[in-house]
Chains A and B, each alone.
Chain A
Amino acid sequence: MAAEASSLRAVDRALPVLAVLAGSIALWYLAAIWLNAPQVIERVFADRPDWSWRELLAQTWSMDRPVLPAPHQIALDMFHSAFDWPPDSPRSLLYHAGVTSGATLLGFVLGSLLGAVLALLIVNLPTLERALFPWIIASQTVPVLAIAPIIIVILGSFNLTGLLPKALISMYLCFFPVVVAMVKGLRSPGVFERELMHTYAASKQQTFWKLRVPASLPFLFPSLRVAIAAGLVGAIVGELPTGAQAGLGARLLTGSYYGNTVQIWSALVMAALLGLTLTAGVSLVERVTLPGGRQ
């Protein structure tokens, strides 16, 4: 009975998502006709004035360099570029996804640590809040697109290339949501909870580890989900000015350089899938770390 109910609930939850997916794919096919038809008529049908509607449809959904590739073209390109090459080949999409996720994860770890350290400083030294917070907020108003090349050039002059510069750009976007959420979370315990620890004559460390840290976790995890998604954007942006060596950002860049729209789209979809996977990973850790403590 219970298993049946839970599978019913899963269907209930999946149905709206699937309906939106089906709707968007249908719209996508229509948009592909609309956007690609002028090119098809101009180039393919230039010397064949007797073309039929059926031929036009077939052509708009199978062009080499369409304005908007059809979903199945992207799916096929992703499949081939992921599985036709060994995963360590620069032609494999999985290789590039791996490069980008490496930079994202390193940046995420560094950014979360930086965020946590800043939050600790701010919570423990109230004057630091006034000194640091304006700078922390100002740092996020500088467009990452402007910062990224600067970081890469500066680190490049120290012979630091590859993973680290990208991870630093990723970190730059990651730390912010973590600082804000951790400060709020570490301060979330109420008067009763704090006075309770006081009556136990608990040390500052005990109050920190047994009250403040556990109280901050429900604030921390949503911010980590935001951070890892922002970190992925940072890593991809960091891959754009490196001369397009490797990573999903490089795939986007070479794709647009050669007008290979299908490749751009498959890199884009791959980035979206990677983002979903990474946030799902954080959610999984959250579920393991916070068992039953939800309110």
Chain B
Amino acid sequence: MASGQAAQDTATLHPTDKSAVVEVSDLSVIFPAKDQSVVALDRVSLTIREGEFISLIGPSGCGKTTLLRVIADLEQASSGTVLVNGMSSREARLARAYGYVFQAPALFPWRTVLQNVMLPLEIHGRSAAEGRSIAREHLERVGLTGFEGKYPWQLSGGMQQRVSIARALGFEPKLLMMDEPFGALDEITRDRLNEQLLRLWEREKRTVVFVTHSIPEAAFLSSRIVVMSARPGRIVEVIESDLPADRTLEIRETPAFMKIAHRLRVALASGHGS
């Protein structure tokens, strides 16, 4: 496939790109099983540059979450290499180079909202006073001022996920990884959070890697979309988005947006067929 070839070329053309935050080359992940081993990722290559908003999209089982988890050192590569800021993913994790947002908010129920956001700062050895002021600032950025003293169970699902985003951003990581963070939320909440996330990205210009299985979400958020197919997990196509950075939800009615969504749908369908 021509576009798949193009994606391979991008990686091989700029193997030591100065602005590369994440460089994945020839990565394979095989989960051993009794009867037949599962090839979760098959020789995947991808370069993510600073300031990009990358979405990984594909059907379930295509390895998009596995790819994210290998970058985050939550899963081990069977072969191939992953570099984060030029370091191995383990070194990058120990250097606290990234923030990670899980599918569930994973807030600690015995901590207040403020204390939850302070958690990584505590672990990284910041003083309590410093941690408190940083946590307050980041709660304000996700629109949760006034909820500092509440406990997680007193918040709605959407608010809980915003707390977990504030928590991931609190220690100012250059790279933010999100694994279907809004998957469990209703459409309306998801739309609003998508818009807030986009504003956050636009303002702070952090690199974001975002896993989703929603076409409109990927098309709306991303500057580049990586389409993957299942069994074995491969990159089928990489789609550049030409939508303006300051886009709002209304852009979903425009032909430019429709075109990207259409290309995504075609790429997903072709990946599914092969």
Contacts and interface: CB of A to CB of B under 8 A. Distances in A.
Interface stretch (B49-57, B92-100, B137-145, B188-196): B92-100
A199 B153 contact: no
A206 B98 contact: no
Given A210-B119, A210-B122, A295-B153, A199 B100 contact: yes
Contacts of B123: 197, 200-202, 206, 210
Contact of A200 (B103, B109, B120): B120
A196 B102 contact: yes
Interface residues of A, number: 21
B72 interface: yes
B171 to A, nearest CB: 8
Interface string A181-201: 000000000101101111111
Contacts, number: 55
A202 B122 CA distance: 10
A16 interface: no
A198 B94 contact: no
B74 interface: yes
Given A201-B93, A210-B122, A295-B153, A196 B110 contact: no
Contacts of A192: 102-104, 106
Contacts of A41: none
B108 interface: yes
Nearest to A195: B74
Contacts of A292: 112, 151
A104 to B, nearest CB: 29
Q: Which of B72, B98, B111, B123 is packed against the most chain A CB atoms within 10 Å?
A: B123
A196 B105 CA distance: 10
Contacts of B98: 199
B124 interface: yes
Interface string B153-172: 10000000000000000000
A192 B111 CA distance: 16
Interface in A12-59: none
Nearest to A290: B110
Given A192-B104, A210-B119, 10 more contacts: A192-B103, A192-B106, A195-B74, A197-B123, A200-B119, A200-B124, A201-B96, A201-B123, A202-B123, A293-B111
